Structures are given as structure tokens and as C-alpha cells.
Structure 1
Amino acid sequence: MKKTNIIRILLIIAFLFLVSSFYYLPYYVSKPGMAKELEPIIEVKDGYDEKGSFMLTTVRMGRANIYSYITAKFMDYVEVYPMDDIRAENETDEEYNIRQLHLMDSSKAAAIEVAYKKAGIPIDYHYKGVYVLHVVPDMPADGKLKAADRIFKVDDLEFSSSEEFITYVSRLEAGEQVTLTYERNNKINEVSLMVEAFKDNENKERVGIGIGLVDDKELLVDPAVHMKTDEIGGPSAGFMFSLEIYNQLTKLDLTKGYEIAGTGTISPDGTVGKIGGIEQKVIAADKAGADIFLAPNEAGSKSSNYLVAVQTAKNIGTDMKIIPVDTFDEAVSYLEKLSPKK
């Protein structure tokens, strides 16, 4: 075979490889991420320093192409998930990313609330409006509103919760018009929409404009807290956020000189909730040299994050101690009793 033909074939193969790498399958691939210290991310004004550190743990997740899909099948602690397990029905890429950022914002708010209440510091709220998470296709808002729009007036009326907004709109008749005042990219806009009945069987008796929404409210605290989380999405760091914030608010250093990693959602009442990717997060924490890993116990469930974390720690032969937690108070109590690291 002539040299020019060989080069031509190699170029064709390289081209096909490049093109196919941009063809995405209806799956996501998840692998171990990193363990990141929280003190550089979270700053409470005039807060106390710590000898050790609290660390959030992450997974790396992305859409699967044919190569990452095949590779994942042969690697330990790399998981493949169908797209429907990750994305909501009819959710666009933009809406998915916005939902992840909102979940992060919600976890930050819950973490601040839990930490400040534990420290005995009062909290106030400023309601900003309704935050659009999703626009339902073929409903009045489709093409008019976008995910991340903030609606703060309806027919020139202001509300103090998303429940009030929903109640107002749902009392209208199909065909009636509603005028929304909203903010997008720091610009104020208005749009008038006809209310319609929903098309799905579950909601066909209800009317609306076709948006998924949540409250958009700001927590007001003193001392102020600043959190740099632009590159982090989802709710799974909430629990560790709450520990770092509380540690900076109080004179007693809960780290006691240890490197403490962990994961879990946090509710405003202090409940620590289940997360995904616990195996990958244990691996990330071990690679970062964590001494302790705090894992959601799920009230002793037989399939809890904690038990999976214990098994993963055993499989990889780590000396990292795995601790079960159900609540923020329980975690604080454990750390308060911990002997300082020598």
C-alpha cells in the first residue's frame, strides 16, 4: 500500500474518531471528583480560624459519548446512569444547569440557617419573588419566559411566597390574561399571557402558565457570610457548608486539627440527607488525605450512604474513619467530643 493511501486512511480514522467523540449517548458517566477545603470558599466576617479543615467532596459527571461509555464499563467506581435518572422530563441543558445552581443556592441558604441558629444568631429573610426553574413546552410561558427569570409582580401585585403566586394564578379561568413583571439579566421586563389548562392527565383539571418555580429569597445575617461556589452545583455540599460556617462562628475549633471530609444535603431543621455518588466521594476524600469522612446514616437504613461508604473504605483499604450522621447536631456533638489530633 502506498504511503499516501496509508496517510489518507489514518486521516479518515482520526476524523471519524473526532466526529464520533462529539456524538452523545442518552447516558451520563460519573467518576470520583475532588475533595476541596471549605475555608477558602466560605468566609464569615471576623470569623474564627481552624487548625484542620472541613472538605466538601464531589463527583465528576458528564454526558457520555461512545468512548467514555465503553471505558466506564471496564473501570471500578465509574458509574453510568440513563439520562432519565439525571434529567427531568423535557428539561433542556440550560434548565438542568440552572436547576443544579439553584439546588446549590438552596443548600447554601439552609446551611447558613442551620449554622446561625445553632450559634444563637438571629436570621431575617428578604423575599425577592418567584424563580423560574423550568418552562413547560406548548404552554403559554413557552417562548416567553426562560429558566432563571425572576418574577416579582403579577398584575402589579407583589407576593410573599410562591404559594401565594400559585394560588392567585390557579384561581383564574382558562383564557383569562395575566401580566407578569420579571427580571432577566438585570433588566426589567413585562409579558402578558393567557392562562390555559394543563395538557397532562395528572394536572388537566388545573390551569396555569406552564412554569416550574420556587421561592427566590435572600437570607439576612450578621455577621455576613460570603460563599464562592460558582463552579459547584447540586445540593450535596450543604451539610459540610453548615459545619464550616458554624466553625467560623464559634470559638471552639471543631476540626481539632483533623482533615474532615463528608457529604450530605442539609435541611433547615438540621436533617442530613442522602446523596448520590457516595463511593466516588469516599475515594476523592481518601486521595485528598482526609482523616474522617462524615456520611448520611439515613436513620439506619440497610442501604444507607453510611453503609456503602464503609464498604467502599474497606474495598480501597483506607485508614480514613467513616462516621454516620443523621443530623447537624449529631455531627457537632461527635466533633466536640473528638480528641485533638496529635
Structure 2
Amino acid sequence: MFKKKRVFVVVLLVFVALFCFVPIPAYIETVGSAQNIEKYVSVNGQKDFQDGQFMLTYVGLGRATTALYVASYFDRYATRLPSSSVRGNNSSSEYEKVQHYYMDDALNQAKIVSLKLAGKPFKQSFRGIVVMSLLGRSSFKGKLRAGDIIIGVDGKRCVKSANFTRYLQQKKKRDVSIRYQRGNRIFSTEGKLIQLPGTSKKGIGISFIQKSKVASSVKIKTDMDGIEGPSAGLMLTLQMYAQLSHENLKKGRKIAGTGTMLSNGSVGDIGGIDKKIVAAARKKANIFFAPNNPLTQAEEKAGELNNYQEAKKTAKKIGTKMKIVPVKNIQDALSYLREK
């Protein structure tokens, strides 16, 4: 009898361990938080002491266990996502590396745009083209990995993404050789050009970002304390510009928002904006900047919402008085802050 009881207890413990601690191929996305950016940024060794806050917002995203997956149904804001929609074909380590590169890129773009706006000189040195993902039909799948850094093509040094894409478009033959860096080692591999989905353009079937370094006599330092991804670009740019220019944009207000930043000042779309609205509202933000880019005809036909429309819908649903402001570029945000 005692032996049967012991077996039952062992089986029960194994079941509990599997239920509670073993990851399943899914992620849970839920409300994260809104944080004052000034603690992450310093300019010439100085923090920002003006009244008010620029706030970055982020979602909570984590691997699911069976227990967490079941519990997520009791969280009204939780979204259950298959691993493939979060990581694509990347492994967990590759996904983490990609998110780190996205944040590096967001910081570089924020520095470039804020320095331009403030009229401060800077230099951008190009270090390579970072592979972020590969299409399933890319002939480089299984050869290149997320996080690899392309530094050459067809025997020529090529570290600038614009030159890389231009060269591939002009290339007559389909055969192409890629030189790349993985860790501290340099490799070469070969494949073929393909037509990129939904376009008439040629490529090797990868998504990528530019790896570069921005240097200026004005020292902008950042410590993101483990926050990854590209979506803080807009708010980082506003924070950096305010410190560079000493312009009082906050005026004592709590200003939250989200959106990627491109070097031309455009604000790009992001995911999870409904959860970011909730996070900002919980921190009593007065203003929330949301990307307002047009949808494609297919997206409109499918009844999808752009970031701004989804943000407005969520704000109405939770009953916040926070002002949702649509932006397409950094000037939209600056104009609003100056005029209001």
C-alpha cells in the first residue's frame, strides 16, 4: 500500500512540474509598464531635470507553460501567441539577439534624428548589415542565421544596407556570394537571388537592419536596463532632443507613446499598442503618441485597424482621459507639444 502511494505522489509531482514549469510552444503577451525615459538617457553626463516625463511603454511577453496558458484566459488583456508568430524560424537565443539588435538600431536612429534636429554635428560609421530573419524559400536558409552580420557581397566589401540592396537590384546573374561575420569568425556562403514577395525587387530573402555607430562631440549615453526591441524609438528621440536643445517640451506633463524611428524622422508601426495604452493609463499619462500610418487596401478590406485607430479604440474601452495623438513623423509630435 505504501509503495502504491509513493508511486502516486511521484506521478502527481511530475504532472505538476510539467503543468507549471515546462514551456510549451506559445507566448503570453500582456500589459507591461510605462517608464520615465530620463533614467535611461544622459547627455554630456547630465540627466534631464525638467518637470514632466517622457515615458516609453512596453508589453509583457514571456514563454508560456500549460499553467500560464490556462491562467491567461482570466487576464482580459492577455493575448496567446504561437511561438512561430513571435520568433519566426529563429531559436530562442537568436530571437533574443535580434531584439538586442533592434534596440541598438532604435538608439542609433534616435541619436541621428535628435542630433539633426538640434543642429549638432555627428558622424555615422557603417559596420555591416544584420540578418534579422530569412524567408522559407531563401536559398540562404540554413546557411545564414539571425544575428549574422553581412560585410561583403561577390568578393566586394559591403557594409551599408543601401549599397547592398542597390547592388542586388542591378545584378544580372542570380548566383551571389555573401561574406558575413558570426561571433568573432568570418565566413562565406553562396546562394541565389529570388524575387521578393509582393514586389518586383530581387533579394536574397532576408530582413535586415543597418549596424552602425554614431559619433558626436555631444556624448549621448544610454542604459536600457534589459529593455529590448525597436518600439521606443520615437520616445527616445523626444527625450534626447529635449536634452540636446534644452527646449521645454514636457511642460510638467506625462507624455507616453510608442513607434519606431527612421533616420528621416518617420514613425513606424509597432505591435501590442492596446496593452501599451493600458500601461500608460495606469501610470496617469496625459498624452499618448500613436503611429498613424495608412493601411493597405487588403488590410482595410479585412477590417484591420492601424496603430492610432486601435489606440483610440482601447482608450475609449478603458475610459481613460489620456489624449491619443496621431503621428506620422517626429515633427508631428514636436508640433503638438509646442502648440499645446
Q: Where on the TM-score scale, by shorter chain, does this alignment land: which range?
A: 0.7 to 0.9
Q: In 1, distance between residues paired with 2:292 and 2:136?
A: 39
C-alpha contact (below 8 Å) 1:122/1:221 kept by paired residues:
yes
C-alpha contact (below 8 Å) 2:51/2:252 kept by paired residues:
yes
Change in Cα spacing, 1:145 to 1:322, as seen in structure 2 (3 Å) is closer
Q: In 2, distance between residues paired with 1:110 and 1:86?
A: 24
C-alpha contact (below 8 Å) 2:158/2:164 kept by paired residues:
yes
Q: In 1, distance between residues paired with 2:21 and 2:313?
A: 36
C-alpha contact (below 8 Å) 1:111/1:239 kept by paired residues:
yes
Q: CA deviation at 1:39?
A: 0.7
Opposite residue 132 of structure 1, the aligned amino acid is V
Q: CA deviation at 1:307?
A: 3.3
2:259 aligned with 1:264: yes
Per-residue deviation, residues 55-94 of structure 1 (Å, max 9, x unmatched): 1011011232222222222321111123343233x32222
Q: CA deviation at 1:329?
A: 1.0
Identity of aligned residues (%): 32
Answer with 1 or 2: which has the greater Rg.
1
Equivalenced residues, count: 330
Per-residue deviation, residues 253-293 of structure 1 (Å, max 9, x unmatched): 21111222111222222222322111211221122232322
- Residue 317 of structure 2 is matched in structure 1 by 315
Q: In 1, distance between residues paired with 2:310 and 2:188?
A: 51
Q: Report matched runs for 1:217-232 at 5 Å.
A: 217-229=212-224, 231-232=226-227
C-alpha contact (below 8 Å) 1:174/1:207 kept by paired residues:
no
Scaled by the length of structure 2, the TM-score of the pair is 0.79
SS at match of 1:115: helix
Q: CA deviation at 1:197?
A: 7.2
- Residue 36 of structure 1 is matched in structure 2 by 35
C-alpha contact (below 8 Å) 1:107/1:237 kept by paired residues:
yes
Opposite residue 151 of structure 2, the aligned amino acid is F
- Residue 331 of structure 1 is matched in structure 2 by 333
- Residue 228 of structure 2 is matched in structure 1 by 233
Q: Report matched runs for 1:168-317 at 5 Å.
A: 180=179, 183-185=181-183, 187-189=184-186, 191-195=187-191, 213-229=208-224, 231-298=226-293, 303-317=305-319
Q: CA deviation at 1:140?
A: 8.3
SS at match of 1:73: helix
Q: In 2, distance between residues paired with 1:179 and 1:110?
A: 26
Q: Report matched runs for 1:13-162 at 5 Å.
A: 13-45=12-44, 49-88=49-88, 90-134=89-133, 146-153=145-152, 157-162=156-161
C-alpha contact (below 8 Å) 1:95/1:134 kept by paired residues:
no
Opposite residue 67 of structure 2, the aligned amino acid is Y
SS at match of 2:231: coil
Per-residue deviation, residues 140-187 of structure 1 (Å, max 9, x unmatched): 8677765433343567642252454567789597889x583x5444x3
C-alpha contact (below 8 Å) 1:127/1:161 kept by paired residues:
yes
Q: In 1, distance between residues paired with 2:284 and 2:310?
A: 20
Scaled by the length of structure 1, the TM-score of the pair is 0.79
Q: Which runs of 5 or more structure 2 residues have no equivalent in the other structure? A: none
Change in Cα spacing, 1:175 to 1:291, as seen in structure 2 (3 Å) is closer
Per-residue deviation, residues 279-327 of structure 1 (Å, max 9, x unmatched): 2112211222323222223369982333333333333333433333232
Deviates more, 1:112-121 or 1:42-51: 42-51
C-alpha contact (below 8 Å) 1:263/1:294 kept by paired residues:
yes
Change in Cα spacing, 1:6 to 1:245, as seen in structure 2 (3 Å) is same
Q: CA deviation at 1:32?
A: 0.4
SS at match of 1:324: strand
Opposite residue 241 of structure 1, the aligned amino acid is L
SS at match of 2:157: coil
C-alpha contact (below 8 Å) 2:165/2:203 kept by paired residues:
no
C-alpha contact (below 8 Å) 2:130/2:147 kept by paired residues:
yes
C-alpha contact (below 8 Å) 2:27/2:61 kept by paired residues:
yes
SS at match of 1:19: helix
Q: In 2, distance between residues paired with 1:202 and 1:317?
A: 40
Change in Cα spacing, 1:17 to 1:169, as seen in structure 2 (3 Å) is same
C-alpha contact (below 8 Å) 1:273/1:298 kept by paired residues:
yes
Q: In 2, distance between residues paired with 1:240 and 1:87?
A: 25
Q: In 2, distance between residues paired with 1:179 and 1:271?
A: 30
Q: Which runs of 5 or more structure 1 residues have no equivalent in the other structure? A: none
C-alpha contact (below 8 Å) 1:132/1:214 kept by paired residues:
yes
Q: CA deviation at 1:36?
A: 1.3
C-alpha contact (below 8 Å) 2:128/2:159 kept by paired residues:
yes
Q: CA deviation at 1:46?
A: 5.5
Opposite residue 62 of structure 1, the aligned amino acid is G
CA RMSD in angstroms comes to 3.7
